């Protein structure tokens, strides 16, 4: 087992350190940091916007770059949270509380350094977990049949609904809408058109890029353009940052928080719907509960920076475990990465490890290299990011929208794609105003066609007998787990705690 992992990692590093893949990794983490710095865009919108650029790239380089964007945003988000009290993306919201407080008392350097150290440690542990847990999970998944895959996908969607922020009813409605949007196109079995309304451009279904870019790119920008708060209202820290290295006392205080945050992030990162945001909030809550003096939190406690920053990075890395081995994305960004794999002609799932070991192990090796690049890049570029924050967003966003329109059109050269992107952008804007999360929709859109295919296949094999889903042990176990998740949501105490957690995160 050990020799297999070592030989596989050797293959991964030989793939990742090729000049072209190092370049893609560098571009990914650099763009990811930039996106993390700019509030209001986030990793999902960034990956959606840059997806068309990867179509003409090699599959390995494309996935390495998109993955670098994803975990790179976590670093960039922490920089602005600490220096400007403005989270670059949602997982960095909790970092603002103690990170900015540290900056105001002249300790911005240690706050940035401990965020980078915690992120690197968590990213390294997450990468090791992917390498260790990936192969055995993929081996188990190879034994799955159609009933098991269908039941697993049902569980993934319900878990996403349970762990999502906001109203569960709204989340389930978004999942159902995503499943409906996923059946647009030609039915594979009968050859009949479904919900195409006579448009030939919809014969192959709605474009993944169109939906992703509309819901996450255009919609987010529309919301941010509406926000009147601009550079004038940003409280940008202008004092010189000195003393980057944390003291021995800081390291002692932060060490336990980094370890606990990493463990919490690793746990939530593997759960569908978990992700970096819930990991960061949970890690912060744990540290506050364990602290001898909880009143320090919010006033510059270094644990309040170390724990959430470690948690969100561990969650991002561990999200790749189920995505790469089972083909089940844990969130919207992972769904976009699965879409990128599909566009490259690679079927997501356990066969990726056997059919494309260079891609699987090359990606794992690139994660460690990317995390090392981020530590080296972030601290020296702090001054540049602060200057970038002084540029009014009303100048940045129109240029980004033009870039997105060109990207959408270049995929299929269809005018319809532009119109559909605008439609989904307006729809996404409405969803945001109604406080409906679009992430479950994109998750259901990706999993929907696979669910339908496995449902039909299972019923064909069993000659129409629906009990096939409960007579097979693994499938039955997934369905029981799904039923337990739904039962938890009905229990009043669990619902109350969930609503309180959502209210706390919104207040922050």
Summarised one tens digit per residue, pLDDT across range 323-336 is 777 777 766 777 77
Residue 464 is classified by DSSP as T
CB count within 10 Å of CB 149 equals 26
Burial of 180 per CB tally in 10 Å (0-12, 13-18, 19+): middle
The predicted structure's pLDDT at residue 1: 47
Q: How many residues does the chain have?
A: 508
pTM for the model stands at 0.71
**How wide is the angle at C-alpha 211 spanned by C-alphas 207 and 216, nearest 5°?**
150
Give every residue of the chain whose pLDDT is below 70, as ranges.
Answer: 1-3, 39-42, 84-91, 163-166, 188-189, 224-244, 271-275, 330-331, 379, 382-394, 396, 407, 410-412, 489-508
Residue 186 is classified by DSSP as E
Integer angstrom CA distances of residue 276 from 100, 143, 149, 324:
20, 30, 25, 18
- Cβ atoms of 441 and 181 closer than 8 Å: yes
Exposure string for 317-335, b = 16+ CB within 10 A, e = fewer: bbbbbbbbbbbbbbbbbbb
Q: Is 117 left (phi over 0), alpha (psi -120 to 50) or beta?
A: alpha
The predicted structure's pLDDT at residue 411: 65
């Amino acid at each position: 087992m050990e020799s297999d992992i070592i030989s596989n990692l050797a293959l991964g590093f030989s793939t990742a350190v090729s000049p072209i893949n190092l370049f893609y990794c560098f571009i990914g983490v650099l763009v990811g940091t930039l996106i993390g710095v700019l509030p209001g865009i986030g990793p999902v919108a960034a990956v959606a916007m840059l997806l068309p650029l990867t179509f003409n790239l090699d599959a390995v380089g494309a996935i390495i770059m998109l993955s670098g964007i994803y975990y790179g945003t976590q670093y960039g988000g922490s920089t602005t949270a600490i220096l400007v009290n403005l989270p670059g993306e949602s997982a960095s919201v909790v970092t603002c509380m103690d990170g900015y407080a540290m900056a105001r008392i002249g300790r911005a350097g240690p706050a940035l350094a401990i965020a980078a150290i915690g992120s690197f440690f968590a990213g390294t542990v997450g990468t090791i977990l992917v390498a260790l847990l990936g192969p055995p999970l993929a081996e188990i998944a190879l034994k799955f049949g159609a009933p098991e895959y269908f039941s697993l996908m049902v569980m993934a969607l319900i878990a996403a609904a349970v762990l999502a922020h906001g109203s569960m009813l709204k989340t389930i409605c978004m999942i159902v809408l995503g499943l409906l949007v996923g059946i647009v196109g030609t039915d594979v079995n009968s050859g009949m058109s479904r919900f195409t309304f006579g448009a030939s451009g919809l014969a192959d279904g709605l474009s993944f890029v169109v939906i992703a870019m509309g819901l996450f790119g255009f919609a987010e920008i529309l919301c941010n353009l509406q926000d009147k708060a601009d550079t004038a209202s940003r409280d940008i820290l202008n004092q010189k940052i000195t003393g980057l290295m944390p003291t021995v006392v800081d390291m002692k205080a932060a060490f336990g928080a980094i370890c606990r945050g990493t463990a919490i992030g690793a746990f939530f990162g593997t759960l569908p719907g978990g992700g970096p945001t819930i990991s960061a909030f949970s890690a912060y809550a744990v540290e506050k509960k364990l602290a001898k003096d909880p009143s320090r939190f919010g006033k510059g406690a270094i644990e309040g920076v170390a724990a959430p920053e470690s948690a969100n990075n561990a969650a991002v890395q561990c999200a790749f475990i189920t995505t790469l081995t089972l083909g089940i994305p844990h969130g919207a960004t992972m769904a976009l990465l699965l879409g990128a794999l599909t566009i490259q002609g690679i079927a997501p799932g356990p066969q990726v490890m056997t059919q494309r070991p260079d891609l699987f192990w090359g990606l794992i090796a690139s994660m460690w290299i990317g995390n090392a690049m981020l530590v080296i890049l972030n601290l020296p570029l702090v001054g540049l990011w602060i200057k970038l924050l002084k540029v009014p967003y009303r100048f940045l966003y129109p240029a980004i929208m033009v870039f997105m329109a060109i990207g959408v059109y270049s995929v299929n050269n269809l005018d319809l794609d532009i119109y559909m992107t605008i439609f989904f952008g307006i729809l996404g804007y409405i969803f945001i105003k109604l406080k409906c999360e679009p992430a479950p929709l994109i998750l259901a859109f990706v999993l929907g066609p696979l669910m339908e295919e496995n449902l039909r296949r299972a019923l064909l094999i069993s000659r129409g007998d629906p009990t096939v889903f409960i007579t097979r042990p693994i499938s039955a176990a997934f369905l029981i787990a799904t039923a337990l998740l739904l039962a938890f949501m009905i229990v009043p105490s669990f619902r109350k705690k969930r609503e309180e957690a959502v209210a706390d995160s919104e207040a922050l």
